[in-house]
Structure 1
Amino acid sequence: MNVNLYGCRGKWVMVDLGMTFADPNYPGVDLVLPDLAFIEERRKDLLGVVLTHGHEDHIGAIPYLALDLGVPLYATPFTAGLIRRKLEEEGIEKEVKLNIIPMGGTLTLGDFTFKYAALAHSIPEGNALIIDTPYGRIFHTGDWKLDENPQLGTPSTPQQLREIGDSGVLAMIGDSTNVFNTQASGSEEGVRVGLDAVIAARGKGRVLVTTFASNAARLHTLGQVAIDTGRHLCLVGRSMERITQVAKAAGYLKEMPPLLSFDQAAKMDPSKLLIVCTGAQGEPAAALSRIAEGTHSQLKLERGDLVVYSSKQIPGNELAIGRVQNLLATRGIEVITEKEAHVHVSGHPGQPELQSMYSWIRPQIAIPVHGERRHMEAHAKLALEAGVPRAMVPMNGTAIRLAPDGPKLLSHEKVGRLVLDGDVIVPADGETMLARRRMMHSGYLSATLILDAKGKLAAPPSIIAQGVPVEEDRADFLKECGEAAAKAAHAGNPHHAAKFEDAIRIAVRRVAREWTGKKPVTDVQIVRV
């Protein structure tokens, strides 16, 4: 969920505006967004949003937050194509100004001059940003790796990166994701060789490969693998189709073989079919999950077919991925992951790549970002060992002065998370999510009492229980809750509404706690007739 702010002489520029996916801590929520309170309070001083590349953790929050910021967006053609689709889906494409900057192009915003420098990544048009200011030059890496044969795009050469370093770099703000990898990430060309070997060995049966939809370089590779192995290609999943369309419109994927429709794929000789689909992280609604469950309306897998995970298992998704793989295994479908064959390479730099980059850029300051705290601490240590004079590890909200006399910690500003709950954006730690977590963990009780004009019960209390673990004893439990509510009502004073309702709530929850050990969220409704 990347959002970076650079400030100079009172003006600000934002680099990237991403989101992340929700976990079980946010029941009912799919997307988590950054809280931009700091810059919203300084909106008049924000000059624009500059995007490094098109991954969701760098552009995903744009359709929800960019309109409120009210500033132009700047992106290279492929990234801009993805953003435009998002703006159109939200119906705000005419209200948010989107500027397309050519690869290697420059733009000036106030005291900032940005130049795009292409770097290899797992999506077309991964870019570093060379940011020139009156106080020095910054090299913001974005997400990157080194790849001499990237299949799509032309990344900057070592000589070009060395020339950037020769010009003098104040600070490098760099990707820390794979800092614990002692080996380089590897080339996309090697993945093609690995996939060729795995798929060519399957004389019979369908082969399905699942990968990230945004990895257009992998889609290109799989198109070549289909040609190499004599199979016909079928893409499954709306995001896969969208990425392909945008990539082609931006001039990529020109060598993709013809694609089969669902109807054609269903009639194809299984030994001649290569299916590529979304769902590598076990997402319940994604194509692979539905295929594994046998509920996909158009594509089926059978015993003897093969599923290849050409992707990395993201931490936190182990259970979801394992569920899908178990479903496949139950049906006699073989599964191959990167642990069994060379079918995936990362889009982030390992230690050798980081060391090479520092030897070329030679910054005075290293600021590790994009990783957990342990990744960033290890990155800072590596940078110092590589000869960088100074390093500082930020936290979310850390304000660092880079120059003059940097790096210096200025403050820790307010940051947080917002969640997209249906069509509404609410605080991740607000009353809505707090109540929903409580209900998810302990259940819900409602007690409705009808009082006559004298404040006496006009009917037995009505109790509703949801998610309270009483099962076959439900009727007895509800009866006891009702009796407790009635007893509290008889003892209380209905003219003091708040105390009256609270006494009933406590009485009903006490019964629930005695029965279950749980403290359900409990509401009391008083109806007067």
Structure 2
Amino acid sequence: MAFAENNEFVFLPLGGVGEIGMNLGLYGYGPENDRQWLMVDLGVSFAGPELPGADLILPDIRFLENERNNIKGLIITHAHEDHYGAVLDLWPQLKIPVYCTPFTEGLLESKREFHSHLHEIPFHIFKAGDHFQIGPFEIEAIAVSHSIPEPVSLAINTPLGIVIHTGDWKIDPEPSLGAVTDEKRFRQLGEEGVLALVCDSTNALREGVSPSEVEVGKSLSDIIANAKGRVAITTFSSNVGRIRSIALAAKKNERKVMLVGRSMKRCVSVADDLGYLEGLDPFISEEEYDQVPRDKLVIILTGSQGEQRAALAKLSRDEMRNLALVPGDTVIYSSRAIPGNEKNILDMQNRLIDRGIKIITDQNGLVHVSGHPRRNELLRMYDWVKPKILVPVHGEAAHLAAHTALGRQSGIKTVAEIRNGDMLKLAPHNVEIIDEVPVGRVYKDGKLIGDEDALGISERRKLSYVGIVTVSLFLNNNSDLAYEPDLVSFGLPEVDGNGDLIEDNLFDVIESTIRNIPKERRKNDSVVCEAVRRSIRSAMNDIWGKKPICTVFLHRSQ
């Protein structure tokens, strides 16, 4: 596209800036009322106990409703859930081409059974080093190191300048899988001139450099060598490099390896099809494992984040008798805790410790390294690409603030401080926030997607705090109680502070309330139901200090 005087180059994050997860970035090029958009990543966050019933948190893309025809494509930098996990759920609202690497496409295809529209998505496959055009944007994919196969940074070129969108990256001279970060190409781009660096902030609070994956492999081998019984190692299912390191460490110690967990097996299957597991011994099946002595087996399994339905959680509750852990066995957490999951993880670890199982985490052993750059790595990237503008993304407020300060200390001319919904003009002229667009989050609950109220999540949360009482009343022709009320409660205490049954107390309250309603007013169903509802909530507040949700049904004799 030729340069026009009124064209602008803007960056607009709809997720992932001011939070960990749910990454969604938009690059716009063109005049104010006719921009063409490039979407980079479309990820999720994971719901905690404060969102009962919700499975995933997705970015709210309402801003794109009126821009759909101007979105030229979506590029996925890599296949971590916080970068690609919302693609299949939100694509029907977008219906745009999707550009990704073979591993990412393979993982999306592996979810076909859950998404019948998958065959409709037009995938365009690329690899690191490829150049391709999407609308007015010239794209180059650049190899970087990260904790998953085929991660890329993007050089996004327009007539107004080049932006480097790093995605997730680190500098690892010896990755266990995949390419090293392409310093040579980043330096070349720096010589050509880089307008802006939109950069990962995850480890901006941590000094030095991230250790290499090779060091983790050596440490795991030593731990396995000294383990007396069965070893179970939990890690992210997409961390194929870590799975490879574990398998090699097991092989060195003459142990067989078994995979447990559907997502683990799915990721490994895709990696195997692409040749990433060459040189490893075959994994044994769950049918074969009981033929292997306890001290000759390593289990790699899901559940590193304390997920209640994952394999490790079931093991910790002794619900997988065929794979039972016993005192003297070892469980290794070869992963970090995603913020918000700490309590679930700690609860699981305590259950295992109570059963005499040894726990090793990154707090007492080198069993995990981050896939994100620490401060010295960030400084090296600044030196390579020499950006005029730094835009810290991919982090919570503390990470973004630390990254902003580091960029300014290093001498970068302009460091932009933005949050989700801030439209940042990168060029031409002054760098500034020129608009704010609506942002937020929606939730996946089973097969449905919507906001808290539409999905009933708010009511569910209230239910979890105060319970519910359902009352059925039967009135005769004189509007007196014909039968004893039918009362059903869930989530309420059974007895009061004196040890008396609360249900008996509520029967008395209901009968007294109806007697005190004048006969004429008892003929009005809504009057009776509302009076009983209020009296039950008031009585429970006196007894318990909480007001339950209360629903009253009224039936009359004919």
Q: Could you say which TM-score interval applies, normalised by the shorter chain?
A: over 0.9
Q: Residue in 1 aligned with 2:26? A: 5
Partner of 1:112 in structure 2?
137
Q: Structure 1 CA distance, aligned partners of 2:344 and 2:444? A: 21
Check whether the contact 2:164–2:196 (CA below 8 A) recurs between aligned residues.
Answer: yes
TM-score, normalization by structure 1: 0.95
Q: 1:516 to 1:410 in 2, by over 3 A?
A: same
Q: Distance in 2 between matches of 1:406 and 1:310?
A: 45
Equivalent position of 1:477 in the other structure: 505
Report the 3-state secondary structure (helix = DSSP H, G, I; strand = E; otherwise coil) of the residue aligned with 1:52. coil
Corresponding residue number in structure 2 for 1:186 = 211
Give the superposition deviation at 1:462: 3.2
| TM-score using structure 2 length | 0.90
Match of 1:525 in 2: 553
Contact 1:117 1:127 in 2 (8 A): yes
Amino acid at match of 2:345: I
Within a 5 Å distance, the mapping from 1:443-458 to structure 2 comes to: 443-451=467-475, 457-458=481-482
User: Retained in 2: the 8 A contact 1:488–1:503?
Assistant: no
How do 1:120-199 and structure 2 match up within 5 A? 120-199=145-224
Amino acid at match of 1:91: S
SS of alignment partner, residue 362 of structure 2: coil
Separation of aligned partners in 2, 1:172 and 1:106 = 19
1:385 aligns with 2:413: no
Residue equivalent to 1:61: 86
* Per-residue CA distance 1:271-327 (angstroms, 9 max, x = gap): 221111111112111111222222115312222111111111222222211222122
Secondary structure at 2:110's aligned position in 1? helix
More displaced, 411-420 or 125-134? 411-420
Deviations 1:357-376 (Å, cap 9, x if unpaired)? Answer: 11111111111111111111
Q: 1:167 to 1:519 in 2, by over 3 A?
A: same
The amino acid across from 1:331 in the alignment is R
Q: Secondary structure at the match of 2:259?
A: strand
Alpha-carbon distance between aligned partners in 2 of 1:252 and 1:268, rounded to the nearest angstrom: 26
In the alignment, which of 114, 119, 129 is matched to residue 94 of structure 1? 119
**Structure 2 residue aligned with 1:289:** 313
SS at match of 1:93: helix
CA distance in 1, matches of 2:513, 2:460: 24
CA deviation digits over 1:495-523, x for unaligned, max 9?
Answer: 76656543432222111111111121222
Aligned pairs for 1:358-507 within 5 A: 358-428=382-452, 430=454, 432-451=456-475, 457-471=481-495, 473-483=501-511, 485-487=513-515, 489-490=517-518, 493=521, 501-507=529-535
Structure 2 unaligned blocks of 5 or more: 1-21
Q: Deviations over 1:137-179 (max 9, x none)?
A: 1111111111011121113332221111111111111111111
- In structure 1, the gaps of 5 or more residues are none
Within 1, Cα distance between the matches of 2:155 and 2:71? 19
Q: 1:126 to 1:504 in 2, by over 3 A?
A: same
1:248 and 2:272 correspond: yes
**Separation in 1, partners of 2:433, 2:525:** 52
Counterpart position of 1:325: 349
Distance 1:493 1:174, change over 3 A: farther
Q: Kindly provide the amino acid, as one letter, of the partner of residue 175 in structure 1.
A: D
Identify which of structures 1 and 2 has the higher relative contact order when contacts are C-alpha pairs closer than 8 Å and 6+ apart: 2
Distance 1:408 1:497, change over 3 A: farther
SS at match of 2:287: helix
TM-superposed deviation, 1:480: 3.3
Give the Cα–Cα distance (whole angstroms) in 2 for the partners of residues 72 and 455 of structure 1: 66
8 Å Cα contact 1:310/1:343 also seen in 2: yes
Answer with 32-41 or 476-485: which moved more.
Answer: 476-485
Question: Is the contact between residue 220 and residue 255 of structure 1 (CA under 8 Å) also seen in structure 2?
Answer: no
Is 1:305 the counterpart of 2:329? The answer is yes
Where does 1:175-254 land on structure 2 (aligned, <5 Å)? 175-202=200-227, 204-254=228-278
Q: Secondary structure at the match of 1:92?
A: helix
SS in 2 for 1:465: strand
> In the superposition, relative to structure 1, how do residues 483 and 335 fare at CA in structure 2: closer, same or farther (>3 Å)?
same
Question: Take 1:488 and 1:407, find their aligned partners in 2: how far apart are those partners?
Answer: 71
User: Aligned partner of 1:241: which letter?
Assistant: K
Q: Residues 463 and 482 of structure 1 are in contact (CA less than 8 Å); yes or no, is this contact kept in structure 2? A: no
1:84 aligns with: 109
CA displacement, residues 10-69 of structure 1 (integer Å, 9 cap, x when unaligned): 111211111111111111222111111111232122122110000011111112111221
Paired residue secondary structure (2:456): helix
Letter of the 1:402 partner, please give it. Answer: L
Q: Deviation at 1:347?
A: 0.6
Question: Is the 8 Å Cα contact of residues 171 and 181 (structure 2) preserved in structure 1?
Answer: no
